[in-house]
Amino acid sequence: MDEKAGSAPLPGDAPLPGEAALHGDPGLQPERTALAWGRTVLTLIAASAICLRWLPEQGLFVLTLFGLTVATGSAIYLTQRRRYRRSAAGIKAEQLAPDIAAVFWTAGACVVLGALGVWLVLV
């Protein structure tokens, strides 16, 4: 919304203290991508919690799977701000390259964690 028209800005529009706004449109692709990465983190954390139900039967293997899942989710969470800033700057400059490494790393981690989860259920 526009402040000139007399309406207040949305809370998500405000830049962090000490920084300028990265762009003027709060519905741009970086916000949608940040939400998607956030859902990925939430899914990984939920999956890690579900794995704990096999802790009494499987022991150390489940703790290893839990640790890998939490580490993957944490890595995504900790790199979120950098990806958002890069996307917003790329859109503003009209030159945005996809973050192929992050997508392949996350896909690979999900395949490995999925395979370990199947192993856990079958053994």
pLDDT at 102: 84
pLDDT at 11: 43
Conformation bin of residue 94: beta by default, left when phi > 0, alpha when psi is -120 to 50 = left
pLDDT single digits (tens) 37-91 = 888 888 888 888 888 888 888 888 888 888 888 888 888 888 888 888 887 788 7
Q: 101: buried, middle or exposed (CB in 10 Å: 19+, 13-18, 0-12)? A: exposed
Q: What integer best gives the mean pLDDT of the chain?
A: 77
Whether the pLDDT of residue 12 is over 70: the answer is: no
Flag whether the pTM goes above 0.75.
Answer: no
